[in-house]
Chain A
Amino acid sequence: MGKHSEYKDWEDKELASSLNRFPERKERFNNHGGEEIARLAVPDQIDEEYIEKIGFPGRFPYTRGVQPTMYRGRLWTMRQYAGFSTASESNLRYRYLLDQGTTGLSIAFDLPTQIGYDSDHPMAEGEVGKVGVAIDSLADMELLFDQIPLDKVSTSMTINAPAAVLLAMYVAVAEKQGVESSKLKGTIQNDILKEYVARGTYIFPPKPSLRLITDIFRWCTDHSPAFNTISISGYHIREAGSTAVQEVAFTLANGITYVQAALDAGLELDNFARRLSFFFNASSDLLEEVAKFRAARRLWARIMKGRFNAMKPASLMLRFHTQTAGYTLTAQQIDNNIVRVALQALSAVLGGTQSLHTNSRDEALSLPTEDSVRTALRTQQVIAHESGVASSVDPLAGSYFIEELTDRIEAEASELIAKIDKAGGVVAAIEEGFIQRQIENSAYEYQQEIEKGERIVVGVNEFKIDEESKPPLLRVDPEVENSQIHGLKELREKRNNKNVEEALANLSACARNTSNLMPEILAAVKTYATLGEICQVLRNEFGEYRG
């Protein structure tokens, strides 16, 4: 088979159909000098091995990307994670970001919200509004999206254990805006498995947690088919200290677990598989990161095909969001972080990400200021519009180094997944502590290398300077907690408590049988039952996980 037949086949099928539906951003992509930049560079001789391992963008095994034209068609979504203090303050920040050219919202919730506590819960003391916005009830959610048309934006919510509740609130707000749930676009993180090993905001034990997740899958298939029902996250696994290979392996192993759980719950593979999305970390080793993204994409396609017999292209594609690595930011010489973030962001773009969050330079110290958030966004815009890397698809393909590394990462990750299979799957491996131990060991080694000076961190263990003045920091006003508690008290007086009790009783009954929890949760949030009240009902029924 010569270059032409296979290449032509791709041009005629995937490429033609893509160009047909989504024309590229420009007629021609030129360099300075007017020469045209190739859409896709390929070797002169296309052989079997090339087709099997590298192939063409938008075609199995998707090593080169999930769309035939990638960023020539549409740039990645520039999505900046934000949210702090109260719903109305966050609302202002979102509207500012939308004005500045952000194309998707990304909501950060405070820890009490993430763990299903209302702001007046004793465990919430001191944490309200600290790392994100506090949401106690539908009333807060209404403020959060005030004047933001939910049929126009795509919203990503970093919420896991109580994802069903926040999704229900989002649907309810949309309804009030007159937007049908079928029009909603966005993502809920909804990935509980990595919480047990890396992030810690779990509530319930694994089994009921997986039920909540598959209930959401099913509900969204019927009511909100454009919503990404899960964002299977390696990001936090990497932040917790894993290697690149472990990030891929544990994330895809979690993905396998969700797919299996959904199949066991009787869902149709091709109905939910296309709504699975992924979330990776872009760390500092630029070439390894590029290879990692490519390897993850290929391995997932092979898993979906080989293990689950998925047929439709949409079920085989690994689409992912990326965030630059928070753990690499330093509190010393914080402007250096801008450079780190730029390199990391570049790796994500060279690796074919679908959306990207760039960290702000001051995030190692506190919540980012508005200025630093803007610089972080500008970094993406420079890569998109000035660097030229968005003009050609998967430009590093065929580099001996990149391809070899891609192969190695895929092979090693497969091996690790096989080990997890042998241990009885992810849940058993978590319960036995296998995954946590692996991450811990890697984290320990990495940090020891820094401590011993074997790994240089610029400005930290080398190239140090005396720094006096620290930049202005953004702090959450402690008053936020009081005002949130006050609002909660008012709400409990104002709402119809009989309706609330009824809805909660229904939810509790539903938790005891096997019917879908989503309709009951939706009914409960509409009565202004609080997040804490709803989660307490589920805590009573499901029990709590203890790490």
Chain B
Amino acid sequence: MSEQILKGLRDRDPRGIARAISLVEENDPLADEILASLDDSLVDQAMVLGITGPPGAGKSTLTDRIISKYRSQGKRVGVIAVDPSSPLSGGAILGDRIRMMGHALDQDVVVRSMATRGRLGGLCAAAGAAVRILAGSGCSPIIIETVGVGQSEMDIIRLADITALVLAPGLGDDIQAMKAGLLEVADLLIVNKADCAGAETLAMDMESIAREGSGKEKDSAKVCMTVASEGKGIDDLLAAIETVDASHRESGERKARREKAYDLEVLDWAIEMIKPSIIKKIEEGGLDRKGDPRMQAVKLLEKE
């Protein structure tokens, strides 16, 4: 079994890659072997592009168009599309793929949907590993699509070398609430649905907020206008991505971000790994329920 998956992964067989991601996501004992088998130089070199923004802004449609462009350049593209899990049932509907089905039969487009699973951390670990597996199987760029709400979604964006924030006119108050935090993490600002009324205003708005805000370089406040549904503006967007990437590589920003992301993933994995044993202790009745819960936790960890 394990041989088969490792071989599949090496051969870039779709099933092998898909199984490998699942096993790592589930923290299977085979995870170590899978991750160790990856070609580090590919992982180091791959470009990871984060696309974030409110629901309905056109992230998936845009991703679909970006895939087409990179494919026409002969690149093998990976996509990790993250959707929130239902807090009630833990289930999720993963629908981003609908917009990318045009690439379904292209073996050089590897799309993987992932639910946030309401994990305590963990999401970064799982998504980070998926990024590595896709990179190790020759994908570059790797696009991470995620809704820009909630902490875990924000964290996951830190896995990206470059982050693009997509907004669209007419999405109302959501955007206002989201703008500040998201603008901070964004390297690129995209106003999609440029065919719709209000796009210009939104673009000017974003430019000025970006210029005022954070100590970012002034020229990075440029906004790309796109009409994803018609494939317009994608060339400019790719050029802008390239520029940011080159500058990040040169300035050392890329390296710095990777290091931070690395640390974050380590933390996430550590939490993932430690959790089962703590849960086990609690279940086995290791608690005397004296004092407050915080004290109990301290005691429990001392015994670790």
Q: Which residues of A contact B (CB under 8 A)?
A: 205, 423-424, 428, 431-433, 543, 546-547
Contact = CB atoms under 8 A, between A and B. Distances in A.
Contact of B171 (A205, A432, A546, A547): A432
Given A205-B229, A543-B230, A428 B170 contact: yes
- Kindly list the 7 A-B residue pairs having the minimum CB-CB distance in the complex, ordered from nearest: A432-B56, A424-B170, A428-B170, A433-B56, A428-B196, A423-B170, A546-B99
Contact of A432 (B170, B198, B230): B170
Interface residues of B, number: 14
23 contacts: A205-B229, A205-B230, A423-B170, A424-B169, A424-B170, A424-B196, A424-B197, A424-B198, A428-B170, A428-B196, A431-B56, A431-B193, A431-B229, A432-B56, A432-B170, A432-B171, A433-B56, A543-B230, A546-B98, A546-B99, A546-B101, A546-B102, A547-B98
B198 to A, nearest CB: 8
Contacts of B170: 423-424, 428, 432
Nearest to B102: A546
A309 to B, nearest CB: 23
Nearest to A428: B170
Nearest to A432: B56
B110 to A, nearest CB: 20
A185 B99 CA distance: 41
B62 to A, nearest CB: 13
B162 to A, nearest CB: 26
Q: What is the predominant secondary structure among interface residues of chain B facing chain A?
A: loop
A83 B198 CA distance: 46
Contacts of A546: 98-99, 101-102
A433 B198 CA distance: 18
Nearest to A433: B56
A547 B97 CA distance: 11
Nearest to A544: B102
A243 B130 CA distance: 42
Contacts of A543: 230
A311 B169 CA distance: 36
A227 B65 CA distance: 41
Contacts of A423: 170
- Among B101, B229, B230, chain A packs the most CB atoms within 10 A around the CB of B229
B155 to A, nearest CB: 26
A543 B232 CA distance: 13
Interface in B168-207: 169-171, 193, 196-198
A502 B170 CA distance: 44
A18 B15 CA distance: 72
Contacts of B98: 546-547
Contacts of B229: 205, 431
A514 B284 CA distance: 76
Interface string B33-54: 0000000000000000000000
Contacts of A428: 170, 196
A447 to B, nearest CB: 16
| Highest count of chain B CB atoms <10 Å: which of A205, A431, A543, A547 | A431
Given A428-B170, A431-B193, 18 more contacts: A205-B229, A205-B230, A423-B170, A424-B169, A424-B170, A424-B197, A424-B198, A428-B196, A431-B56, A431-B229, A432-B56, A432-B171, A433-B56, A543-B230, A546-B98, A546-B99, A546-B102, A547-B98
A145 B3 CA distance: 65
A188 to B, nearest CB: 27
B290 to A, nearest CB: 44
B192 to A, nearest CB: 11
Contacts of A432: 56, 170-171
A432 B171 CA distance: 8
Contacts of A547: 98
Interface in B230-245: 230
Interface in B98-128: 98-99, 101-102
Contacts of B197: 424
Interface in B220-270: 229-230
A440 to B, nearest CB: 10
